[in-house]
Homo-oligomer: A and B are copies of this chain.
Amino acid sequence: MHADWIAVDWGTSNLRAWAIQEGAAVAEAASDKGMGVLAPDAFEPALLEVIGPWLGAEPVRVVASGMVGARQGWQEAPYVTVPCAPTGARAVRPDVADPRLDVTILPGLAQDNPADVMRGEETQIAGYLAVDPGFDGIICLPGTHTKWVHVSAGEVVSFRTFMTGELFALLSTASVLRHSVGKGWDDKAFAEAVDDAMGKPEAIAARLFALRAEALLADLGEGTATARLSGLLIGAELAAARAYWLGQRIVLVGEDRQVSHYAKALASLGAVAESADATQATLAGLAAAHARLQEQS
């Protein structure tokens, strides 16, 4: 099975690839060789391990986005500064040893003030715009580093990154709260915590330790503590991102569970959010970049 071209989403902690034939993904493969664990000369072998079975005698174009293009990645694909289209400029082509490969790495986006960057999400935004080109509003991409992105007239106008996902992961696995959070979930506790943090965002620093204290003193359940921790962090984010979501059309693009939490939190504030599949957005964005590269060559 040979691919017409290969789409690659290469982040810090893993690598996902799709073989594309006649515009459709016909095979998928992945590995945990993310940018974070690879030296520059290890990227080509890591890619070949995953996509080797899809290569034929002729060179195959590989279009990759994400942290693979960071300064510590395979080859730096310098940021493009907003306002600009989410993809389209300044892709780089790293040298490869294997003649069957023709690799292009897409650049990320940067914003000067306030300083901000993204790598990978711009491809999902391009993918969403490929199916809804006239979109005017906010695309929110929940994740380790959640992005709120203002899109208008086919361009990214501005964006802001929140470390909510990483904070949740650190607090629930590496802080004293790891003893108090765990399996389970509590919708009511989540909604109350969102409301709490929205109303008094400065108090979040004090409310965090209360999760531990209530577990010790009042047998607070692990599911309730988990939902409350998530609600406090998302609520604080929504308080800070108010200018992004208030009165705007909002589309959430991300992993199902995270999207559902953001949708519920926004709904409790009277904001209706649509959602779009993250993998489809990634693939559509890489396909749009591939089509443009074909036109140029």
Name A's B-contacting residues (CB within 8 A): 71, 79, 110-112, 114-117, 145, 160-164, 166-167, 170-171, 174-176, 201-206, 208-210, 212-214, 216-218, 233, 236-237, 239-241
Given A117-B216, A202-B201, A213-B117, check contact A174 B170 (CB 8 Å): yes
How far does the alpha carbon of A115 sit from the alpha carbon of B218 in the complex, in Å? 8
| Pair A217/B112 contact, Cβ less than 8 Å | yes
Of chain B, the residue at the smallest CB distance from A148 is B206
| Pair A145/B240 contact, Cβ less than 8 Å | no
8 A-B pairs closest in CB distance:
A201-B202, A202-B239, A115-B213, A161-B209, A115-B214, A202-B240, A170-B170, A116-B213
Of the candidates B115, B175, B233, the one whose C-beta lies within 8 Å of that of A210 is B115
Which of A115, A171, A204, A236 has the largest count of B CB atoms less than 10 A from its CB?
A115
Chain B nearest Cβ from A158, distance in angstroms: 12
| Identical copies of this chain, number | 2
25 pairs from A and B in contact (CB 8 Å cutoff): A110-B213, A110-B216, A110-B217, A114-B206, A115-B210, A115-B216, A116-B209, A117-B216, A117-B217, A145-B209, A160-B206, A162-B209, A163-B205, A163-B208, A163-B209, A164-B205, A167-B175, A170-B170, A170-B174, A174-B174, A201-B201, A202-B236, A202-B239, A205-B237, A205-B240
Q: Tell me if A's interface is mostly helix, strand, loop or mixed.
A: helix
A116: chain B residues within 8 A (beta carbon): 209-210, 213
Of chain B, the residue at the smallest CB distance from A171 is B170
| Pair B210/A114 contact, Cβ less than 8 Å | yes
Given A201-B202, A209-B163, A236-B202, check contact A176 B145 (CB 8 Å): yes
